[in-house]
Amino acid sequence: MPRRVLITGASVAGNTAAFWLGRAGFDVTVVERAPEFRDGGQNVDVRGVGREVLRRMGLERAALERGTGEEGTTWVDGRGRVVARFARTEIDGDGPTAEMEILRGDLAGLLWEAARGHAAFRFGDSVARVEQDAEGATVAFASGRTERYDAVIVAEGVGSSTRERVFPGENRPRWMDLTIAYLTVPRTADDDRMWRWYNATEGRGVSLRPDRHGTTRAMLMIQQPPGGEQDWEPDRQRAFLRARFADAGWEAPRVLAALDATDDFYFDVLRQVRMAAWSKGRVVLTGDAAWCATPLAGIGTTLAITGAYVLAGEMSRESDVAGAFAAYERAMRPMVDKAQGVPKIAPRMMNPHSRLGIRLLHVGLRAASHPGLRNLAAKAFARPPVEPDLSPYRAMETGRRPEYLSD
């Protein structure tokens, strides 16, 4: 009889795990708090081993075709004049813009479409309680239903409520001293295919990125210690941003004007998830719920796709749930640890507080963008090279059910 697996979170990681586990013969249910599939969201990129997983799913070409069309990154001054330029083709995709740049919702949608044939999805519900014993986990849902599973995979976000229920107090977050807000703004004739980044004093930043939906994706950044702003109501967060960016210059007025009109406003204070262990009994964490490295690491989506694939692979190879979870953690820890090694000084360096600091940043970026120094710039932006070996999981591609599932 197929083993019953619950995945909580129809995320990039959750949908990837659902695809591979369902294809391997597991009985998979995905529960998602949102009432329907959530599209939209901001730019993400997929590199290296993450692209290999998409290739094995037959989705690499589709992901490239749904890309944002971003051609590189420029830093600009208050008049919009280019200070430094890093074209993607000039540094072989190892710079801030990758070859595969795609909106989070577009990628998650591709994965969801692929997973729907291998798993049951239930929207508008969430986990209320998990009780475990030696044989499995009994899950009570917010809807009132109770079901039994052989394993539970938590593929929620950085603030995962299910993680806190099963692993209370075990997350030791590493705060990165950077507050961010994302939203979509109307496109204008001046918007090009570059990611444009502007620095203002007091650690503030504004960036605009292209998409293929006729709009522009905006980000506001403030380099400062955390003050609990992530827990404020959205109206208070918007008021905070208006006050802080009122005199920031460049395109800040345009972004602030869209705060009330956008339907995809997202606000967060960046922190890494630091867990001593990613599993407890029959419950295992993956994606941001397990190890959020923050956007500063630059490989969050690659980690989510890769981690979900490795987890599914180990569960397909190993009949013992605890043994599979342990093998998954051994395979993924080196890559996660490397990604989480972003120095806390990095946000401060990229978001100077003084005019002198901004001038010095621009001097450094201008030098790094010089043709003779582009290889050094590529190394500075390069992602962690530590990647798990995917060769043991080739058997999943055949769609053959593991022998122990046929018992």
What digits encode the pLDDT tens for the residues 211-270? Answer: 999 999 999 999 999 999 999 999 999 999 999 999 999 999 999 999 999 889 999 999
| pLDDT(313) > 90 | yes
Percent of the chain exceeding pLDDT 70 equals 93
In which residue ranges of the chain is CATH 3.50.50.60 found? 4-69+102-173+272-342+389-406
> What is the reported pLDDT for 94?
56
Distance CA 170, CA 382 (A): 31
- Residue 130 tokens, joined: 């998990």
Q: How confident is the model at residue 371 (pLDDT cuts 50, 70, 90)?
A: confident
Distance of CA 268 to the CA centre of its chain: 13
Q: Distance between CA atoms of 162 and 219, rounded to whole angstroms?
A: 28
Give the closest residue to 319 by CA, choosing from 404, 194, 209. Answer: 404
Read off the pLDDT band of 92 (50, 70, 90).
very low
**323 pLDDT exceeds 70?**
yes
The pLDDT of residue 42: 87
- How many angstroms separate the CA atoms of 295 and 96, rounded? 11
Mean local confidence (pLDDT), 98-103 = 89
For residues 33 and 56, the answer to whether their CB atoms sit within 8 Å is no
Segment 171-195 shows an average pLDDT of 96
Task: Give the pLDDT band of residue 380 (cuts 50, 70, 90).
Answer: low
Tell me the two tokens of residue 355.
Answer: 């005019």
Q: What is the pLDDT of residue 50?
A: 95
Please name which of 84, 17, 91, 113 lies closest in space to residue 47, comparing C-alpha atoms. 91
Could you tell me if 335 and 384 are in contact, meaning their C-beta atoms sit under 8 angstroms apart?
A: yes
Quote the pLDDT of residue 375. Answer: 58
- What's the rounded Cα separation, in Å, for the pair 221 and 245? 10
176, 293 contact by CB (below 8 A) = no
Is the confidence at residue 199, as pLDDT, over 90?
A: yes
Measure the N-to-C terminal CA separation of the chain; round to a whole number of Å.
Answer: 6
The CA-based diameter of the chain, rounded to the nearest angstrom, is 69
What pLDDT score does 374 carry?
60
- Residue 91 — very low, low, confident or very high, per pLDDT cuts 50/70/90? very low
Least confident segment among 126-130, 196-200, 365-369: 365-369
Residue 41: which pLDDT band, with cuts at 50, 70 and 90? confident
Domain at 4-69+102-173+272-342+389-406, CATH homologous superfamily: FAD/NAD(P)-binding domain (3.50.50.60)
pLDDT value at position 398? 75
- Tracing tokens 């001046």 back to the chain, one arrives at 190
Quick one: average pLDDT of 270-283? 97
User: How much is the pLDDT for 1?
Assistant: 53
This prediction has a pTM of 0.93
User: From CA 301, how far away is CA 387, in angstroms rounded?
Assistant: 14
Q: CATH says 175-186+198-267 is which class?
A: alpha beta
- Are residues 157 and 230 in contact, defined by beta-carbon separation less than 8 angstroms? no
pLDDT at 294 over 90: yes
Task: Read off the pLDDT of each residue in 57-86 and give the average, rounded to a whole number.
Answer: 95
Place of tokens 């210059």: 249
Question: Tell me, what amino acid is at 117?
Answer: G
pLDDT in tens, 118-131: 999 999 999 999 99
Residues of the chain with CATH 3.30.9.30: 175-186+198-267
Sheet with 283-285, side-by-side order of all strands: 120-123, 27-32, 4-8, 151-154, 283-285, 279-280
For range 63-92, the mean pLDDT: 88
In contact, 126 and 7? CB cutoff 8 Å:
no
Mean of all residue pLDDT scores within the chain: 92
What distance in Å separates the CA atoms of residue 183 and residue 398, rounded to the nearest whole number? 41
How would you label 318-336 residue by residue, b for 16+ Cβ within 10 Å and e otherwise?
beebeebbbbbbebbeebb
